[in-house]
Amino acid sequence: MTGLYELWYDVVKQGQYVHVIEQMHIQYGPIVRINPNELSVRDAQFFDKLHSDSTKKRTHIPSLFSRILGLSGSMVFAPSHEIHRGRRKAVEPFFSRHNIERIEPMIVEQALLLDKRLNEMKISKRVVRLEHAFFAFASDVVGRVCCEIPSNFLQDKDFFPQWYSLFERGARQILPAMHLPLISVILKLIPQTVALKLYPLGATFTMYMTAVTSHIIHAKNQDLSAASVLANPRSSIFRYIVCEKTLPKAEQSVDRLSHEAATLLGAGALTLARSLSMTFYHILANPTIREKLAAELAQPLADIHAHMPRRSELERLPYLRACVREGLRLSYLQLQAVPHCSPDVEFQYHQYTIPKATPIRMSIYFMHTDLEIFPAPFEFLPERWLGKYNPQMDRQFVPFSKGSRNCVGFNLAWAELYILTALLFRPEAPTMQLFNTDASDIRVRDHCFIPLPKSDSRGVRVTIE
């Protein structure tokens, strides 16, 4: 078996290898070899075994990605299980449900700002690309989480579309760079000044990272007490890491922490913008769904300035919950080609013994589109989550993955998804109408680093009435 097959479908055909793997599973069964070193398993029962918690087994992801992205200082691309655990432990309390509840007012503030900006567009009659608006929202929230006040993309006239393009295009380049690592070696040799001339968009990222780095240095120098950091709901994650002192000194270097900031931004903004755009497209394209949702939101969001419901109240609204879940189900956001492996335990899969340290991929796309569990899997059907439904749906609904390497930011993501969807579909919200947009503009086609729509999509565009 050769890796060229994967290279052809992932690089030349832009992220289509997952569909070849899908065909392999149909032809050969639930376990297949997909390149000389890796396996793919398509079996929901195995998902929990592979993604177990850290007390059951050590986990590891191969280091190729961190070499290409140059972010080995981050938790996600940590070089070993132990380093990953240490880094993750240092941030888990910050992302706990309890702490995210404390910072909810900041999320609401940013959501209200977006609501206000959309209202203003009623007069200017601008066409808004929702991905840009949501990416600006998610980046401003992550920015506040990382370094208190680094960005105000929501204030930009068009939500600073270049910022979204930078990340979307970047995500499309990662698989080619992974298959052809020489490209990234050559690119790294180009001096920064020349690179910025060739690719001026990179300047915004450099400025952003400079602001983050200054904040980290400031937090380290100030070294506030744990009590004062905790007392302030606007304290950044880095103040928290510095004051907790659970990490060894080397792990608290400015360089290492700035890698963490870059991956938090990467992991927390594009994912959120994609799943919000998916949810909003389907609600806007289906007047019946939109009416039902607005009717459910009418009473709880009747006077948002007197009482903006909290995430805990919003997630109890069944139709809203169903819509948010369907949007997440159809986005199947996952680092596509990142396999997981267990360095010291072998797996038994029916008659097959999988040697330890074998990289194994399990796609969330397969979990979320299983025809037997989710009939009409590519349709947005909130009703499937209402009333008494098949409990296997909950087991196979894994938008944030599972186990010790699941999404550490899932509480933040849920809060952002519920708050923004509720706010912008309440009856008094600015009325959005789709503008020259169809399902092909949002549906996942290219399974790049993360799943994206066709590259010439003009996105989910709306006018405001």
Size of the site for ligand HEM (CB under 6 A): 25
Binding of residue 264 to ligand HEM (CB under 6 A):
yes
SS3 457: coil
* Residue in 391, 151, 394, 445 with CA at minimum distance from that of residue 278: 445
Binding of residue 407 to ligand HEM (CB under 6 A):
yes
Distance of closest approach, residue 307 Cβ to ligand HEM, in angstroms: 25
Q: Round the CA-based radius of gyration of the chain to a whole number and report it.
A: 22
Binding of residue 271 to ligand HEM (CB under 6 A):
yes
Cβ neighbours of residue 341 closer than 8 Å, sequence gap 6 or more? 59, 60, 61, 62, 356, 357, 358, 359, 360
**Exposed/middle/buried for residue 316 (C-beta within 10 Å: 0-12, 13-18, 19+):** exposed
Residue range at the interface with ligand HEM (CB under 6 A); choices 13-21, 113-121, 409-417, 430-438: 409-417
Binding of residue 174 to ligand HEM (CB under 6 A):
no
Q: In the range 93-152, which residues lie near ligand HEM by CB under 6 A?
A: 142
Binding of residue 334 to ligand HEM (CB under 6 A):
yes
Binding of residue 272 to ligand HEM (CB under 6 A):
yes
Binding of residue 320 to ligand HEM (CB under 6 A):
no
Residue range at the interface with ligand HEM (CB under 6 A); choices 25-33, 294-302, 371-379, 402-410: 402-410
Reported as type and span, the H/E element at residue 187 is helix 181-189
Reported as type and span, the H/E element at residue 432 is strand 432-434
Binding of residue 367 to ligand HEM (CB under 6 A):
no
Q: Applying CB under 6 A, which of residues 405, 426, 447, 461 lies at the interface with ligand HEM?
A: 405
Binding of residue 278 to ligand HEM (CB under 6 A):
no
Comparing CB distances to ligand HEM, the nearer of 54 and 152 is 54
* Residue in 167, 132, 73, 71 with CA at minimum distance from that of residue 459: 132
Residue range at the interface with ligand HEM (CB under 6 A); choices 15-23, 188-196, 227-235, 398-406: 398-406
Q: Applying CB under 6 A, which of residues 333, 373, 432, 444 lies at the interface with ligand HEM?
A: 333
Distance of closest approach, residue 284 Cβ to ligand HEM, in angstroms: 19
Q: In the range 72-91, which residues lie near ligand HEM by CB under 6 A?
A: 75-76, 88
Distance of closest approach, residue 412 Cβ to ligand HEM, in angstroms: 5
Is the distance from CB of 276 to CB of 417 less than 8 angstroms? yes
Q: Applying CB under 6 A, which of residues 359, 409, 451, 459 lies at the interface with ligand HEM?
A: 409
Cβ neighbours of residue 421 closer than 8 Å, sequence gap 6 or more? 276, 279, 280, 320, 323, 324, 327
The size of the chain, in residues, is 465
Around 300, how many Cα atoms within 13 Å sit in the side-chain half-sphere?
22
Residue range at the interface with ligand HEM (CB under 6 A); choices 184-192, 202-210, 251-259, 408-416: 408-416
* Residue in 272, 274, 322, 312 with CA at minimum distance from that of residue 425: 322
Binding of residue 408 to ligand HEM (CB under 6 A):
yes
* Residue in 457, 460, 462, 436 with CA at minimum distance from that of residue 169: 457
**Exposed/middle/buried for residue 237 (C-beta within 10 Å: 0-12, 13-18, 19+):** buried
Binding of residue 314 to ligand HEM (CB under 6 A):
no
Binding of residue 176 to ligand HEM (CB under 6 A):
no
Q: Which residues bind ligand HEM (CB under 6 A)?
A: 75-76, 88, 142, 263-264, 267-268, 271-272, 275, 333-335, 338, 399-401, 405-409, 412-413
